[in-house]
């Protein structure tokens, strides 16, 4: 089955830059989307179409794509950014939805 691979955890100090990657073979052909999930809450979309930011999402959240890897970058990390982050895309045929395994961002 098709998989999106994320690191299980990333740790940064406040004010630093966090980068969370998501890798899969079909990512050069399929857009990626990113969600933030705080404990006990539903996921919230923070990036769509690789690098677009929805209204209401702080500018410190950005996305990029290079080959088979997409990256969520959080600049000037704040304590409130501590959460789980999931990437989402489609399989190579563009038919089925797939989520990455999630990355726990810890703000030290």
**Residues interacting with another protein, by CB under 8 A?**
1, 31, 33, 35, 42-45, 48-49, 54, 86, 88, 90, 95-102
Nearest distance, CB of residue 24 and another protein, angstroms: 15
Closest approach of Cβ 84 to another protein, in Å?
Answer: 8
Three-state DSSP class for residue 50: coil
Q: Which is nearer to another protein, 8 or 17 (CB)?
A: 8
Nearer to another protein, 3 or 14 (CB): 3
Q: Is 13 or 39 the residue whose CB approaches another protein more closely?
A: 39
* Dihedral angle sign, alpha carbons of residues 18, 21, 27, 32: negative
Short-list 53, 12, 28, 80, CA closest to 20: 12
Q: How far is the CB of 15 from another protein (least distance, A)?
A: 28
Contact 92/29 with Cβ under 8 angstroms? yes
The encoded tokens of residue 62 equal: 């950005």
* Distance separating alpha carbons of residues 11 and 65, to the nearest angstrom: 21
User: Pairing between strand 9-12 and 18-23?
Assistant: unpaired
Q: How far is the CB of 13 from another protein (least distance, A)?
A: 26
State which residue, 48 or 69, has the beta carbon closest to another protein: 48
């Amino acid at each position: 089955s098709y998989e999106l691979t994320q690191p299980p955890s990333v740790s940064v100090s406040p004010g630093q830059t966090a980068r969370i990657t998501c890798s899969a073979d079909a990512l050069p052909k399929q857009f990626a989307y990113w969600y933030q999930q705080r404990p006990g809450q539903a996921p919230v979309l923070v990036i769509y179409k690789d690098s677009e930011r929805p209204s209401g999402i702080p500018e410190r959240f950005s996305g990029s794509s290079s080959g088979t890897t997409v990256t969520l970058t959080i600049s000037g990390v704040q304590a409130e950014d501590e959460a789980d982050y999931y990437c989402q895309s489609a399989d190579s045929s563009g038919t089925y939805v797939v989520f990455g395994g999630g990355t726990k961002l810890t703000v030290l």
